[in-house]
Structure 1
Amino acid sequence: MPFDLGATVRLTADCLAPDGTLTTATTAAVTVTAPDGTTASPTPDETGSPGRYQADYVTTAAGRHTVRWVWSGPAHAYTDMFDVREAAPPALMSLADGRRHLKKTDTADDDEIREWIEATTRAVEQFVGPVTPRTVTETVRFTSARTVALTQVPALELTGVITLRSGGPAYTVDDLEVDKDTGLVSLAGGGVLYGPLSVTYRVGRLVVSANIRSAAKIILQHLWRTRQGPGRPQRGTDDYDVNEPLPGLGFAIPNRAVQLLDPDRLPPGVG
């Protein structure tokens, strides 16, 4: 399961002799490589069990980290990895709401529920665009046009714009206007835009409608069922039916959830 940004990760590994037995090493070293390629070397300690080592690493960046253990006397090595969530991962519901919907009365499955909530959010946003408000930056490549399209909608507001064309006109966010539903950007006073542009803007919904929230709960329940048996979610005879796989999502989205999301579904070619 991914760790939260800023949390301490306890790294563990076993030093094995050539015959496979746990062995205390003469030296032990561990290196953590962050997503940006920087490295850290937390101090490893042998635990109460000979040959078993641990080291604590405080996370400072979101993304996938690799862990490399190396021992000498005997020579042994081990490679592992872990993921770190972004500081505010998009989530359509709280952990408490997810636990309540799944009828969980304790916290034993909290880490897994959180991950399924994040997966559910990503699935819903494939249908309706960003739901949880956040800031994105993208490069819009064009030479000249009266309108240019952002890739993510709903687009709440523009917060920054930089002209990437040498000698091109400089714009401010006050010079531009954006259509929330289509993501089309134009000059507020009319005229031609010159690009390419680097645009920073806020996306998502300030109010999440009941049909989107309800669809997310159905998807969460559907995905949670995969823990109860092998294979993909099966076709059934209830609200969790999946008659046909959806492009890019397979059998992850039940029919009832698709129907609930239809009123807010992105038009073809948008998002």
Structure 2
Amino acid sequence: MAIVTLADTKAQLGISADDTRDDTELLGYVDAAAAAVEKETGRVVERRTFTDQVLVGRPRRTILLPHVPVAELISLVSVDGYAWDVSAGAAVVDADSGAVTVVTGPPLSGTLVAVYEAGPAVVAPNDRLAALIIIQHLWQTQRGTMGIQLGGDSEGGYVPGRGFAIPRRAQELLANQLPGVA
């Protein structure tokens, strides 16, 4: 599942659904926006399968997977050949932290290969909207259609230490919200 569809992208940019001239370029922008959203948030925003090698020094029962949230652990195998039966509950996964704890079988050690799905079942509305804003910003700046923006009120201006590709309003949609009273 993509963070946004090609149809969503065309609607955001005011491009007719029948106009296919820029489809390849637009799909590239969708991929780039998804990567930017994931980098900004530090989490997977569109569900997909990962295969990661995890190096474990001394034997232990728990490892951390690098891509969160973890939706499902598909397999966990040592390069030495031992496979934990994850379908039978040999391992427990904390989705938010990516912690995998084996509850049966030998402890984890050496080089492990974990295959798992990470990402939410449905893209969060703020992630989806931020992606569309990023795509629109990249499209307009590439096409030269943003015009001259002077002063500090520009939506897409340079933010020191942050770069130019992610407009401020997209950054605000992606910011971690602190708990509190409204």
Q: Give the alignment's TM-score, normalised by structure 1.
A: 0.56
Match of 2:180 in 1: none
**Alignment length (residue pairs):** 168
Q: Give the alignment's TM-score, normalised by structure 2.
A: 0.80
CA deviation string 1:160-202 (max 9, x = no partner): 1111247xx5422121111111111112469943332111000
The correspondence for 1:134, drawn from 34, 39, 48, is 48
Decide whether aligned partners of structure 1 residues 190 and 263 sit closer, same or farther in structure 2, where only a CA change above 3 A counts: farther
Match of 1:101 in 2: 12
2:56 aligns to what SS in structure 1?
Answer: coil
1:241–1:256 CA contact under 8 A, matched in 2:
no
Gaps of 5+ in 2: 178-182
Q: How much has 1:239 moved relative to structure 2?
A: 3.1
Q: Does 1:220 align with 2:131?
A: no
Q: Which moved more, 1:215-224 or 1:157-166?
A: 157-166
Map residues 1-271 of structure 1 onto 2, 5 A cutoff: 91-105=2-16, 106-128=19-41, 129-143=43-57, 144-165=59-80, 170-173=83-86, 174-188=89-103, 192-229=107-144, 237-246=153-162, 250-263=163-176
2:56–2:108 CA contact under 8 A, matched in 1:
no
**More helix, by proportion:** 2
2:61–2:103 CA contact under 8 A, matched in 1:
no
State the alpha-carbon separation in 2 of the partners of residues 170 and 91 from structure 1. 32
CA deviation string 1:224-264 (max 9, x = no partner): 1222339xx97862433332242xxx321111111111137
1:156–1:180 CA contact under 8 A, matched in 2:
yes
2:75–2:84 CA contact under 8 A, matched in 1:
no
Larger Rg over CA atoms: 1
Match of 1:19 in 2: none
State the alpha-carbon separation in 2 of the partners of residues 229 and 126 from structure 1. 26
1:218–1:240 CA contact under 8 A, matched in 2:
no
State the alpha-carbon separation in 1 of the partners of residues 49 and 2 from structure 2. 15
**RCO comparison, higher one (Cα < 8 Å, 6+):** 2
**More strand, by proportion:** 1
State the alpha-carbon separation in 1 of the partners of residues 80 and 114 from structure 2. 13
1:234–1:242 CA contact under 8 A, matched in 2:
no
State the alpha-carbon separation in 1 of the partners of residues 118 and 56 from structure 2. 22
State the alpha-carbon separation in 1 of the partners of residues 105 and 93 from structure 2. 12
State the alpha-carbon separation in 2 of the partners of residues 221 and 153 from structure 1. 27
State the alpha-carbon separation in 2 of the partners of residues 159 and 244 from structure 1. 41
